Amino acid sequence: MRRLVRLLAATTLTIGTLGAGTAYAVSRQAPAERSATPAAAPAGKLRATPQQAFVGSQGPEQLKGPNLQPVWDPDGTDTWGEGTYTAISAKGFTSVRFVLFWDDFEPSKGVWNENAFTTLTTALRRAKAAGLYVVFDGVHLYGQPEGQSRVPEWARTADGMGAVAANGLGYLQQLATRYGANTEFADTVAAYDPVNEPYRWPVDHRSVLADYTKIINAIRTKDSATPIMVEPTYGDARVPDADLAALTPTDRSNLIWSVHDYYAGNDGVGYGDDDVAISPNPSDGTTGYDPADKANLAAHLQVQLDTASKAGMPLWIGEFGIGSGAAGHDGYIRDKVALYKSKGLGYAWWEYYDDGTFSMVDENDAWNAWVNLLL
Instruction: Report helix, strand and coil shares of the chain as percent, to nearest 5.
Output: 35, 15, 50
Does some domain include residue 290? yes
**Distance set, CA 306 to CA 132, 221, 236, 316 (Å):** 29, 30, 13, 13
Q: How many domains would you assign to the chain? A: 1
Instruction: Supply the Cα-derived Rg of the chain in whole angstroms.
Output: 19
Does some domain include residue 47? yes
Report which of 193, 195, 101 is spatially closest to residue 151, judged by C-alpha positions: 101
- Per-residue model confidence (pLDDT) at position 31: 40
Does some domain include residue 3? no
d(CA 169, CA 245): 22
Contacts of 346 (CB under 8 A, 6+ apart): 53, 54, 61, 62, 63, 64, 94, 95, 316, 317, 340
Does some domain include residue 178? yes
pLDDT tens for each residue of 304-349? 999 999 999 999 999 999 999 999 999 999 999 999 999 999 999 9
d(CA 311, CA 314): 9
- Per-residue model confidence (pLDDT) at position 17: 33
Sign of the four-CA dihedral 355, 359, 362, 365: negative
According to DSSP, the residues that pair with 142 across neighbouring strands are 148
Does some domain include residue 4? no
CA contacts within 13 A on the Cβ side of 301: 26
Look up the pTM and report it. Answer: 0.92
Does some domain include residue 340? yes
d(CA 276, CA 6): 9
pLDDT tens for each residue of 97-145? 999 999 999 999 999 999 999 999 999 999 999 999 999 999 999 999 9
- pLDDT block averages, 10 residues each, the chain of length 375: 36 33 37 49 84 96 97 96 98 98 98 98 98 98 98 98 98 97 92 98 98 98 97 98 98 98 97 96 97 98 98 98 98 98 98 97 95 97
Instruction: Provide the domain limits for residue 189.
Output: 17-374
- Per-residue model confidence (pLDDT) at position 121: 97
d(CA 172, CA 102): 9
Supply the CATH number for residue 370's domain: 3.20.20.80
Does some domain include residue 77? yes
Does some domain include residue 11? no
